[in-house]
Chains A and B, each alone.
Chain A
Amino acid sequence: MAKESPPRWDRRMQQRLARGEAAALGELYDRFASLVHGLAHRVLDDEEDADRITREVFAHVWENPDAFDPRQGPLRSWVATLTHRLAVQRLRQTEAAALARDGSGTTEDLERKVRRASAAARADYIVTNMPAPLRAALELAYFQRRDYRQAAADLGVTEDEARRRLRLGLQLLSTAHDNGTSGTPPGNGRAW
């Protein structure tokens, strides 16, 4: 599906959106809707809320195509960051409203909940976007309970390499805990 390299696809998409091409909006949706909806759902755990965030994200991109800067990283990351920010904002609002309404729980509980949801969504994104060899190693070790020697044999790599992939995969995944709870986009286009 990707005849064009991602940066090139991103730039062309941005130009087409800026030009007001409705067909480009459709293609944007087709490429990113499951990412956006999935992340929003991971944060909010609610179908309707996730639908709503999905509408907001695409409306924002459609209305502000120039806000994306291709030099800062791929469109995919930008869309994910935007989704994450809007979803965390929404979660904080609804939780704060609930707190104000029935006074159960504390602000710390709220922050903890937001932090957990936020990290879970980041983790999903990281797992789906990490290099396939790392993901494959993690899947074997975690879901299929292969030890690293069996994983090495399954993957046709040395045991050293299997250990390395498991460690590196978890290192990448652990960055989901970074960035606190702010939900603001990370600067300078790092993944998150």
Chain B
Amino acid sequence: MNGPERFEPYDDEGVGGARGDDGTRGDGRGSGSGHDSGSGPGAVPPRIPPPRSSVEDTGQPLPDPPPPVPGTPATTSAPAPLVLEHRVLKSLLGAWALSACSAEEAEAVEVHLGTCGPCAEEALRLRDAVALLHPAEPLDLDPMLRTRVLEGCLDRRPPRIPVPDWVAPYDAETARLDALLQDIGDSEWHAPVRLRWFDRDGLVSRKTTVAGVLAHLMMVDGLVALALGLDELPPMVEASGHGGDVGKARPGPAERTEAYWRASHRPPTRAVRGPWRDQTHTLVRTVAFEAGSASEASASVDYGDFELPLRDSMLDRAFECWVHAGDIAEAVDYPYEPPAPRHLHHMFDLAARLLPTTLAARRRAGLASPPRRLVAAGTPGRSLRLEVEGAGGGEWLIALDSPGAVASAEYEVAHVALDGVEFSRLAAGHIAPDEVVAGLDGDREAIRDVLFATASLSRM
């Protein structure tokens, strides 16, 4: 993610104490004519002991010893001391400090160090540097630290352009997913994932990979980018063979995802992370600038066969980000926690607000029982009390007869009580409505309709 920013891709000069004593860079080994070839005849005992081995100290398994290097003298014959020119000896200092040269070379270096002050000094320095190497420790940042740090900052200096409350869940969920992605290895990006959702009257699924899921999130987030008048990242590839669907205004989440998958010659890789993350940052930033303006208030996001106001759409994207982050975490066997309770609450609230419309749509499609009575818009009608328990929970009254009716405790005909995680799994299409563990009381038909409507909030 962060390339070298400070150092040029290795300059030839070296740094620190080892500069400038070797202007010439010969190609290949010289003929041994270096005039300061350090290994004197008397083979002074080395002042500097050989470097300690490295990996033993870390407790890692030792690899096999290196195969004999062709061209070096066999150990059986009397070891003829290797004579190397100064340039070569100096260039060996790094390999020597790392115990990464042949025994003969190491010996030649050590003999040389007894007579050459600058090289001895550098050798010490490099050997001390080896002690600073250690295996990278996997470091899991507490995902909640982000919120704490940012809130602390904003308390000390209030922002002029805040991130609105209704964007905070999306901001937090995308950051949590990104932190998870940072920790997973190359091969895990290709781990199989089954996307699951509820379609009309049953659970369906579609096979993809971790990278494929992220591409899916990116393509659906792209709908919000379009609504904000932003350039998409990447631009939507027109689906071929789309001619039959002329009546449809715009490709929805599934079409966009399928088109992306189809258009890639190879399965998506971890390379999708950058564009996905850039787009999430751009969305947060743009929405923060737009918040409260007239265009924000009227903006809506076109999902193909339905629309959501921008604010609800950002919540919807946060929810889907969490759900798919959970899919990814499961595929790579990582733990993944639910969102912060106040963010969860907003997500539950969105689901509860969407239920009457979804119920009406299912009714029109013949998938839900007909209304018991006609209710004039704005007047109270039969209602179901939805009680979501646990973190972020709350109570909502759902109007059953028509989206225009006012939900009313007076006309409560049923009560559904369930845990927040269970409700989320239902709304994500991860469990079937008739398998939900919930306390159910009252009108069976109303309960069934609401549970099925909750499941059909999900989509690919």
* Residues of chain A at the chain B interface (Cβ within 8 Å): 1-3, 6, 19-27, 29-31, 33-34, 37-38, 41, 51, 54-55, 58-59, 62-63, 73-74, 76-77, 119-120, 123, 127-134, 138, 141-151, 160, 162-178, 191
Chain B CB count within 10 A is highest, among A130, A138, A146, A147, for: A147
Of the 9-residue stretches B73-81, B89-97, B216-224, which lies at the interface with chain A? Answer: B89-97
A32 CB to nearest B CB, Å? 9
Q: Are A38 and B130 touching (Cβ within 8 A)?
A: no
Given A1-B277, A21-B285, A23-B285: A144 touches B63 (CB 8 Å cut-off): yes
B306 contacts partner chain A, Cβ-Cβ < 8 Å: no
Asked whether A174 lies within 8 Å of B125 as measured between CB atoms, the reply is yes
Per-residue 0/1 for B162-174: is the Cβ within 8 Å of any A Cβ (1 yes, 0 no)? 1100000001000
Q: B156 near A62 (CB under 8 angstroms)?
A: yes
29 CB contacts below 8 A, A to B, read A1-B278, A21-B288, A23-B288, A25-B150, A29-B150, A29-B175, A33-B149, A34-B141, A34-B182, A38-B139, A55-B153, A62-B154, A74-B5, A129-B5, A129-B6, A129-B7, A131-B9, A138-B98, A141-B98, A141-B100, A142-B130, A142-B133, A145-B62, A145-B99, A160-B91, A163-B95, A167-B18, A171-B126, A177-B128
Q: Are B129 and A76 in contact (CB under 8 A)?
A: no
Q: Find out whether the CB atom of B91 lies under 8 angstroms from the CB atom of A163.
A: yes
Given contacts A171-B126, A173-B129, contact A150 B175 (CB under 8 A): no
Q: Chain B residues with Cβ under 8 A from A120's Cβ?
A: 132
Bound Cα distance A162, B3 (Å): 21
Residue among B55, B126, B152, B284 making CB contact with A26, cutoff 8 Å: B284
Report the separation of the CA atoms of residues A127 and B130 in the bound assembly, to the nearest whole angstrom: 11
Using CB atoms, name the residue of chain A closest to B95.
A148
Contact with A along B264-298 (1 / 0, CB 8 A): 00000000011001100100110010000000000
Q: Which of B134-187 contact A (CB under 8 A)?
A: 135, 139, 141-142, 145-146, 148-150, 152-154, 156-163, 171, 175, 178, 182
Residue total for B at the interface (Cβ-Cβ under 8 A) = 76
Is B28's CB within 8 Å of the partner chain A?
A: yes
- A15: min CB distance to chain B, Å: 12
What is the CA–CA distance of A73 and B108 in the complex, to the nearest angstrom?
41
Residue of A26, A151, A165 with most partner-chain B CB within 10 A = A26
- Pick the 3 closest A-B CB pairs, nearest first: A167-B94, A20-B160, A166-B94
A21 and B133 contact, CB distance less than 8 A: no
- CA–CA, A23 to B153, complex, Å? 12
A-chain residues with CB within 8 Å of residue B146 when the two chains form the complex: 26, 29-30, 33
**Contacting pair B5 A76 (CB below 8 A):** yes
B313 to chain A, nearest CB (A): 17
Which residues of B223-274 are within 8 A (CB) of A? 273-274
B70 CB to closest chain A CB, in angstroms? 10
Q: CB of B24 within 8 A of chain A?
A: no
Across the interface, B161 reaches (CB within 8 A) one of A21, A144, A168, A172, namely A21
| Selected contact of B163 from candidates A23, A166, A191, CB within 8 Å | A23
- State the Cβ distance, A130 to closest chain B Cβ, in Å: 6
The docked-state distance in angstroms from the alpha carbon of A171 to that of B163 is: 45
Taken together as a complex, chains A and B put the C-alpha atoms of A164 and B93 apart, in Å, by 9
**From residue B61, how far is it (CB to closest CB) to chain A in Å?**
10
Residue of A19, A123, A145 ringed by the most chain B CB atoms within 10 A: A145
The digit string for B87-113, where 1 denotes a CB below 8 A from any CB of A, is 000111111011111100000000000
Of A19, A143, A147, A167, the contact of B91 (CB 8 Å cutoff): A167
Residue pair B148, A167 in contact (C-beta under 8 Å): no
**Which residues of B are found within 8 Å of A74, using beta-carbon distances?**
5-6
A169 CB contact (under 8 Å) in B55, B66, B94: B94
Contact in complex: B159, A6 (CB < 8 Å): no
Chain B residues near A133 (CB-CB < 8 A): 9-10
- Is the beta-carbon distance between B139 and A23 smaller than 8 angstroms? no
Q: Which of B1-20 contact A (CB under 8 A)?
A: 1-10, 14-18
The listed residue with most B CB atoms (<10 A of its CB), out of A30, A74, A138, A164, is A30
Which of the residues B4, B129, B152 comes within 8 Å of A55, measured between beta carbons?
B152
Contact partner, A174, options B100, B126, B274, Cβ 8 Å = B126
Question: Of A2, A62, A119, A144, which contacts B132 at CB under 8 A?
Answer: A119
B residues in contact with A2, CB < 8 Å = 1-3
Residue of A nearest to B153 (CB): A62
B130 in contact with A170 (CB, 8 Å): yes
Closest to B132 in A: A123
| Bound CA–CA A140/B202 (angstroms) | 53
* Residue B374 is within 8 A (CB to CB) of chain A in the complex: no
